[in-house]
Amino acid sequence: MSDLLRIAIVGYGEIACRQHVPAIAKTSGVALVAVADPVKTPPGLPHFRDLQELLRDGPEIDAVALCTPPQMRHAQAAAALASGKHVLLEKPPGTTLSELTPLITAAQEAGRTLFAAWHSGYAAAVGPARQLLAGRTINKVTIIWKEDVRVWHPGQAWIFEAGGFGVFDPGINALSILTEILPRAVFVRSAALDFPSNREAPIAAEIELSDAGGLPIHAEFDFRQTGSPSWDILCETDAGPVTLSKGGRQLRDGGRLVVDAPDEEYPALYRRFVALTSEGKSDVDLAPLRLVADSFMLGRRRLVEAFED
């Protein structure tokens, strides 16, 4: 393989255009050399209708970034690994926990990297928040993660289909931060999921979680928010409140602003991916996905009014 990690993006939707392409351009040691998408044709790059055509007829590549809806990713990741490619999985990494186990095994057997890209865990304030909380007693955690689906996922019907996660598509970002900043593993105690009468995935959710020490954690996810999004995690501690805002980019310790950084999550993701491929390692953290799966298993289903995009 070349010293330069040659990567192709599969699925050229909004997240690929807005985040992956500029992040790759900012990251040394990696270059975008092709795109596979059934509809969009980016200028200046070789374009293929799907992954199979890319692997058969495309330029030499070392890795793929799978930015397709999660319902498609298992088959695509398996095909890419079988072809000797490293694989970056956009979040969520798949629709089920069980489908990821054989992918982890396949990557190990092929000597290739499989990377579950929990981008919110790489937000600038997450690491400092983890360090700050490590020296304190946490008494309560409240997560408010709400946004307007029409603004952030316009026309993306797959998100409300079975396996599309619904409001857990953004909500899992909060859970990926939660599992990073808390010192102990957490689990779901109960959940209530609001399903529009014409959809197969929830538009809102309320979840109660805890850790082995009984820490109360309350989470509210909602796709029906209008105006500015709310991407906040409040930790009440023995030394006062610690608040993560802006999806993990801003940190306050009481009234003191500790971190207020721009959005640089995806460049950090790609630096991590390049390092993993050079070291021959994988990184597939399943903790956030387990919490979503448990929410569906324990969740009380509530029917709400039909949703039309």
Residues with a catalytic annotation lie at 91
State the DSSP code for 40. -
3-class secondary structure, 143: strand
Beta-bridge partners for 218: 142, 208
Phi-psi region of 59 (alpha: psi -120 to 50; beta: other; left: phi over 0): beta
Burial 88-103 (b: 16+ CB within 10 A, else e): bbbbbbbbeeebbeeb
- H or E element that contains 291: helix 287-298
Work out whether strand 240-245 and strand 204-211 pair parallel, antiparallel, or are unpaired. unpaired
> 174 near 219, Cβ under 8 Å?
yes
Distance CA 251, CA 130 (A): 11
- H or E element that contains 220: strand 217-222
How many CA atoms within 13 Å lie on the side-chain side of 277? 25
Give the residue carrying structure tokens 């995935």. Answer: 201
